[in-house]
A and B are shown apart, each in its own frame.
Chain A
């Protein structure tokens, strides 16, 4: 008998989880010692990881507000992780109370936590599914209930595609998701890269190795490779740029140099 695709054989909290590591970077305590231990080791190589994470969150927040300003009030956030402060539904529903949000993650702990956080939220829900199987996401009851795919959707792939190896064909997955979106939808995406990191690549590779060790390889991609995810989309100004440079609210001189690692961009379907 086939077990449901999402259901892992068991929950092993002795294995670090990228979503709990991310929570730790963001100053949260939704994590266990194994997560913190892995995070600390990665930070030995890339001390700016918390700043990079923070820049991801800040970009996401601006992108959500941008989407709302464009009239897009449905959000599909894949790789949502642990809903810490400043999550999509907080940002979106604060600005536009009727906004619909569906989170997607394949980490069962993150999903369970999200369920608890969203228990009383009629307009937000979470799906236990894997980005590598877009059909399971698109055909989930939560998406059916909350998202009208005939209307524009903001598809958020923030800090998640760099966890999908080429062998799993992330481009095909993104294309399949994109194909389900109505015209005027937005693809909101950030991705890790060696470009922009304020330190030699060799040193940054140490952090990549840590992720490899915890069996969640971090795939660094070049700007060009990241740009290919937007094939078929019209790039929203200012295009694919370091995160703090995407429609900043404040003068960039406030920014930590680590925040310039990786790229962010928003594309619009024709």
Chain B
């Protein structure tokens, strides 16, 4: 709209400008003043209309007052400035030519109406805004409450649904709240815990620091603690838990509640105990095993000054024979019975019996006077073994050898103590068994060498430390070499060449004799084959190989021998197996069967060391033997001339008996020409000894010395 200068429109605009300038400083609108002027212009126009209209209507004033509030002129000053402006300029700029007094009157009434309209609008706006902000605050509170509620609901779900037990108590220990899991752990009765005090939940197994930690926590000196704790269930059983207790503080940091989280570890603990039991006990006998025994022994040995210990190391005599002849089931029953009897021997506090393995048992005593007690313990054990054990209707006599070690704690390791006991036990065994011996450092030292050799044996066989020497067997009739006895030697890296007497018993004991014996047999048979080849058709050279008792009972003996002969292409007649008389004493048919098989094949069997074992001469008929080897003790009396007439008579008798049973006689230990001559006259068939040759390498078989070795 274009305004004529000083026309009505221009004058109206000027009024609006003045009005906006008056009001703008007291508004808080973000409009600029010209923008505000644009908003006021229509209001000014309405005021002019009301001023000039034929009929006067004060309502317009109210509308304008209300419109001011809508334009965010809410400050009371905005009203007063507006009224001032209307009062001073409305009639002046918009009154045109009307009657001044009437116009002024109308302007005045418009002001009253504007004030009323402004006041009402402001009131309504204020109330509306108060209402909306209150609503907003309520909604915000609702949102927070809902968040809290869902947080609480989630917490409750966690609390109730947790697999772990949760309980809350106040700082006086009153249990306030517990969840289902905790209730179930305690056996499901609400009364168990409700209304009880934490301090009442003691248990005899509580660790000493448990309640100290508790006190620190409720005093606020500790934020949490963790412990393993037992509780008594109402039914009397024990609940074991992993317990974590935390201190809950209020917003200001003051201690308020205690929160307990517990995990039921009862089952796990039982399982652990069981696993521990299984790991520390022998499944067969139920006795403590090696692990537990060593634990106890080590604890004992570390017990400190003034404490002493006594230990009996028991190994059953001849258990292997029982196991081999009656079977493992019988052997096991025997062990169980022995275990029971041993258990009854060690019932005093501080005494224990354990099974180390096989037929080895130990009994430990830690009483006040072990020197005396350990002897008594050993005696009780020997006594307990006296009564025969009945297995499958057989009465088995059980004997054992015991090595005793007694001494102060803190001097030796458990392994050293046990080795000493082991050595001592062997001493008892080699003294005939069925006895106990007391450890003695010197004997130990000797045995330790033995022990060293024993442990070195298997590797020695692998490393090829053994070799074989051959001692010629000479026909007494014509002085020709008919064969040789194979004698195994050990070229020990430290001890040099060791004879069979040093290691064969050890190999016997460890069972290594079986592979060692097989090796000797192989080597010797191969050697016999070579001799035969070299000799052409000039009659076979026979090799004599010793069989140990252990090999004799080995089930593979026959097959092994056959295999070895076949592989070497050697006829059975070229092999003679020497078996000691003692190994065959009391031999039953089972034991003789393999020998018989071999003899049937053509292998000669010689009865070695004949005359030392109180043999039943009548028994000779039963044995599949073709050669008797007279022990050297019979021929010693013939080294000098004239020979001992008694010896002569005995040898003569034996030779005559042998020949009448169709057995050849070989004599050992021939050291002089006189001896040789005498034995030839007595009818002996073959001889060996230093007079002819010492044992030597196979290629020197025919180099006979024929020099007296004595003197």
Contact = CB atoms under 8 A, between A and B. Distances in A.
A3 B151 contact: yes
> How big is the A interface, by class?
35 or more
Nearest to A25: B28
A114 to B, nearest CB: 8
B34 A250 contact: yes
A85 B126 contact: no
Q: Is the interface of B mostly helix, strand, loop or mixed?
A: helix
A7 B147 contact: yes
A9 B25 CA distance: 41
Contacts of A45: none
B141 A11 contact: yes
A100 to B, nearest CB: 21
B154 A8 contact: no
B140 interface: yes
A111 B24 CA distance: 30
Nearest to A35: B133
A32 B133 contact: yes
B551 interface: no
Nearest to A13: B137
Nearest to B135: A116
Contacts of B29: 54, 85-86
Give the most central of A1, A54, A113: most B CB within 10 Å.
A113
B147 A113 contact: no
A4 B133 contact: no
Contact of B140 (A3, A9, A11): A11
B144 A116 contact: no
A103 to B, nearest CB: 13
B323 interface: no
Interface residues of B, number: 36
Contacts of A112: 135-137, 139-140, 143
Nearest to A251: B33
Contacts of A120: none
B147 A86 contact: no
B130 interface: yes
Contacts of B28: 25-27, 50, 53-54, 57
A108 B143 contact: yes
A11 B32 contact: no
A13 B151 CA distance: 22
A8 B72 CA distance: 33
Given A108-B140, A112-B143, A27 B33 contact: no
Interface of A is mostly: loop
B132 interface: yes
A249 B29 CA distance: 14
A19 to B, nearest CB: 10
Contact of B136 (A1, A7, A9, A116): A116
A111 B33 contact: no
B191 interface: no
Contact of B32 (A50, A58, A113, A116): A58
Contacts of A13: 137
Contacts of B136: 30, 109-110, 112-113, 116
Nearest to B127: A29
A11 B158 contact: no
Scoring A10, A30, A31 by chain B CB atoms within 10 A of each residue's CB, the highest score goes to A30
B72 A85 contact: yes
Contacts, number: 100
Nearest to A117: B132
B129 A29 contact: yes
A256 interface: yes
A154 to B, nearest CB: 17
B544 interface: no
A188 interface: no
A8 B151 CA distance: 13
A40 interface: no
Contacts of A238: none
Contact of B30 (A11, A86, A111, A113): A86
Interface string A194-230: 0000000000000000000000000000000000000
A115 interface: yes
Contacts of A268: none
Contact of A3 (B35, B141, B147): B147
Contacts of A113: 132-133, 136
Contacts of A150: none
A1 B154 contact: yes
Contacts of A7: 143-144, 147-148
Contacts of A4: 147
Contacts of B125: 29
A150 to B, nearest CB: 31
B144 A10 contact: yes
Given A29-B125, A31-B133, A109 B140 contact: yes
A20 interface: yes
A58 B27 CA distance: 12
Nearest to B74: A27
A254 B133 contact: no
Contacts of B24: 254
Interface in A17-41: 20, 25-32
B139 A256 contact: no
Contacts of A8: 144
Interface string B559-575: 00000000000000000
Nearest to A115: B139
A53 B133 CA distance: 20
A110 to B, nearest CB: 8
B429 to A, nearest CB: 73
Interface in B451-493: none
A53 B394 CA distance: 114
Contact of A256 (B25, B32, B74, B143): B25
A60 B31 CA distance: 11
Contacts of A110: 136
Contact of A60 (B30, B129, B155, B251): B30
Contacts of A123: none
A26 B31 CA distance: 13
Interface string A232-270: 000000000000000001100010100000000000000
A116 B33 contact: no
A111 B140 contact: yes
A82 interface: yes
Given A27-B74, A82-B133, A1 B158 contact: yes
Nearest to A58: B30
Nearest to B75: A27
A53 B30 CA distance: 9
Contacts of A10: 141, 144
A61 B30 contact: yes
A85 B127 CA distance: 16
Given A29-B125, A60-B30, A108-B140, A116 B132 contact: yes
A86 B125 CA distance: 16
B137 A11 contact: yes
Contacts of B158: 1
B34 A109 contact: no
Q: Which 10 A-B pairs have the closest CB atoms?
A: A113-B136, A29-B129, A108-B140, A57-B30, A112-B136, A86-B30, A112-B140, A112-B139, A27-B28, A30-B133
27 contacts: A1-B154, A3-B148, A3-B151, A4-B147, A7-B144, A11-B137, A11-B140, A27-B74, A29-B126, A29-B130, A31-B133, A32-B133, A53-B28, A54-B27, A58-B30, A58-B31, A58-B32, A85-B30, A85-B72, A108-B144, A112-B135, A113-B136, A115-B139, A116-B139, A249-B35, A254-B32, A256-B25
Given A11-B140, A25-B28, 7 more contacts: A20-B133, A58-B30, A82-B133, A85-B72, A115-B139, A249-B32, A250-B33
Interface of A: 1, 3-4, 7-11, 13, 20, 25-32, 50, 53-54, 57-58, 60-61, 82, 85-86, 108-113, 115-116, 249-250, 254, 256
